[in-house]
Amino acid sequence: MIVFILDHKFHFETENLCRLFFPNADIKLSYEYKETTDDFLYTEMISSEDAIVLKARIKVGESCHESELTIDEYSDEAAEYVLALCVYECLQKVTGYTPKWGLLTGVRPSKLMSKLIDQYGQDGARAYFIHKLLVSEQKTKLASTVCNVQKPIIDKNTPKSFSLYISIPFCPSRCSYCSFVSHSITSANAKKLFPEYLDKLIEELEITGKIAKDNALILESVYVGGGTPGILSAEQTVKLINAVKDNFEMSPCREFTFEAGRADVTTFEKLSVLSELGVDRISINPQTFDNSVLEEIGRKHTAQDAIEAYNCARQFDFNSINMDLIAGLPSDTVEGFKSSIDTAISLKPENITVHSLALKRSSNLVAKDNVSLAQDNSADKMIDYANEALSAAGYVPYYMYRQTRCVGNLENVG
Ligand code: SF4
């Protein structure tokens, strides 16, 4: 699809809105208009002494639509918003699709909600989401709940607070949907790199620890993610965690998370080491409890392996165990996903994080061009079920972010 950007600077917002409706389309921006038989979205700002006119026109297949709005006085904010309304209307008309997150693209909705609550109060912020940003009532409530749950935790931060994220970009195998920087340890190159990476990581922890001490920074949380940190041997895990403890002042640290990750690398010995060294939150990530889906996405473990890894972790006194599930995995069905949610709930982990599959260019899965999201709302049904079932089981959403190219334009919620 060609997106024409004429006489305005809001190409970023325009492209992102377009991607909401056509997540996998090959979108090309053009700053001058040329006749075309391809699908296109034309946007323009016309300024005169009396008013500023924002226009959008779209053609997708045989469907066309035009929208035009005027503002009296120019400001970046007003022009960007009004153009977004025109673009949104055009996209909505030609696809027949209404995104539940409305005009919101590329932001943490709860962060925006928090800013709006400070400005307009709880009711005003919710009204702004619904009426100005066209967010559905359901998603507005979700953003508002996450924001209010997070507030007392975030309020404890000081200007000197920081969090430490440590990445282990290696995995036992590459999942087909993965777009993270991570290497399958099965390759000779990765095998060779892995020990060297660990040494360099420890060097970097020493340097970063010194910077933190010199600046009297306060370590609030540590997260070891990846990749699959669980791929470290018990001995390497001790080396890494001791490097953190030796180089940072740990007394103010409120949470130390280690993504044990995949069941194919989780062992009693590693869990025991994590527990002894003071890690208080771990993640065991089944992604799905359907063996055929696990096989389809290239995971080398079964649903039962994930359950056994979880039960093994329960023998230790971690404060919190998280389980990740993904909605919209290839070959998964709504019924299959519901069953995965029910299984996760029956295990009673403290946290369950439900991701919506995001298909990035760097994943092995081939994304189809120009597929409109209106054609398949199964991910939507999955996420709706997750929200209902998890709420009924007493889980409260505490964390949320959105990604581009996410199935159904949905969100990831802890
Ligand atoms: S385990 Fe996670 S990081 Fe590793 S390949 Fe799979 S999705 Fe990517």
| Ligand 1 lined by 14 (C-beta under 6 Å) | no
CA distances, 159 to each of 110, 111, 154, 223 (Å) = 20, 17, 11, 20
Any domain includes 103: no
Q: Is the CB of 147 under 6 A from ligand 1?
A: no
Please tell me the distance from the alpha carbon of residue 329 to that of residue 332, in angstroms, as a whole number.
5
Residue having the nearest C-alpha atom to atom 8 of ligand 1: 178
CA distance 68 to 46: 11
Domain membership of residue 102 (yes or no) is no
* DSSP per-residue letters across 236-287: HHHHHHHHHHHHS--TT--EEEEEEE-TTT--HHHHHHHHHTT--EEEE--B
Q: Which atom of ligand 1 is nearest to the CA of 262?
A: 1
| Same domain membership, residue 392 and residue 245 | yes
The answer on 119 and 12 residing in a single domain is no
In a domain, 130, yes or no: yes
Give residue 228 CA to ligand 1 midpoint distance, Å. 7
Report the sign of the C-alpha dihedral through residues 96, 102, 105, 108, in that order: negative
**Closest by CA position to 290, among listed 331, 346, 230, 351:** 331
User: Using a 6 Å cutoff on CB, does residue 297 contact ligand 1?
Assistant: no
Residue 186 located in a structural domain: yes
DSSP assignment letter at 406: B
Query: How far is the C-alpha of 380 from the C-alpha of 253, rounded, in Å?
Result: 37
247 lines ligand 1 (CB under 6 A): no
Closest-lying ligand 1 atom to the alpha carbon of residue 169: 3
Q: Is 100 within the bounds of a domain?
A: no
Q: CATH number of the domain at 26, please.
A: 3.30.160
Q: Is residue 391 part of a domain?
A: yes
* Cβ–Cβ < 8 Å for 324, 261: no
Same-domain pairing of 194 and 65: no
273: its two tokens = 């080491």
In a domain, 119, yes or no: yes
Does residue 101 sit within a domain? Answer: no
Same domain, 51 and 175: no
Provide DSSP, 41-61. Answer: EEEEEEE-SS-EEEEEEEEET
The CATH number assigned to the domain holding 366 equals 3.20.20.70
Q: Would you call 233 helix, strand, or coil by DSSP?
A: coil
Using the mean position of ligand 1's atoms as its centre, give its distance from the Cα of residue 176 in Å. 9
199 and 121 share one domain: no
> Are 74 and 136 within one domain?
no
Please tell me what DSSP assigns to residue 367: P
pLDDT in tens, 102-161: 999 877 899 999 999 999 999 999 999 999 999 999 999 999 999 999 999 999 999 999
- Sequence-separated (6 or more) residues with CB below 8 Å from residue 96: 374
Residue type, 87: V
pTM, two decimals, is 0.89
Residues 51, 122: one domain?
A: no
Q: Are residues 143 and 160 in the same domain?
A: no
Domain count, the chain: 3
Residue with tokens 């998603």: 139
Smallest CA-to-CA distance from 15 within 96, 91, 95 is with 91
Tokens of residue 130, six digits: 């619904």
Please tell me the distance from the alpha carbon of residue 169 to that of residue 245, in angstroms, as a whole number.
21
User: Based on the domain organization, do 281 and 381 belong to the same domain?
Assistant: yes
Closest CA to 4 of 59, 42, 35: 42
Same-domain status, 72 and 215: no
DSSP string for 327-339: ET-TT--HHHHHH
Cα separation, 363 vs 294, whole angstroms? 16
R_g of the chain computed on alpha carbons: 24
Cβ(129)–Cβ(143) below 8 Å: yes
Residue nearest to atom 3 of ligand 1 (CA): 227
Q: How many residues does the chain have?
A: 414
Tell me how many helices (H) and strands (E) the chain has: 11, 15
Are residues 181 and 317 part of one domain? Answer: yes
Burial of 230 (0-12, 13-18, 19+ CB in 10 A): buried
**Could you identify the atom of ligand 1 that is nearest to the CA of residue 177?**
7
In this structure, the answer to whether residues 143 and 210 fall within a common structural domain is no
17, 103 contact by CB (below 8 A)? yes
pLDDT single digits (tens) 208-250: 999 999 999 999 999 999 899 999 999 999 999 999 999 999 9
Tens place of pLDDT for every residue, the chain, 414 residues?
A: 999 999 999 999 999 999 889 877 889 999 999 999 999 999 999 998 889 999 999 999 999 999 999 999 999 999 999 999 999 999 999 999 999 999 998 778 999 999 999 999 999 999 999 999 999 999 999 999 999 999 999 999 999 999 999 999 999 988 888 888 888 988 999 999 999 999 999 999 999 999 999 999 999 999 999 899 999 999 999 999 999 999 999 999 999 999 998 899 999 999 999 999 999 999 999 999 999 999 999 888 999 999 999 999 999 999 999 999 999 998 999 999 999 999 999 999 999 999 998 876 666 665 444 444 444 678 889 999 999 999 999 999 999 998 877 777 889 999
262 lines ligand 1 (CB under 6 A): yes
**143 SS3 class:** helix
Q: Chain centroid to CA 53: how far?
A: 35
Domain hosting 351: range is: 156-413
CA–centroid distance for 69 within its chain = 33
Cα of 18 vs centre of ligand 1, distance in Å, is 28
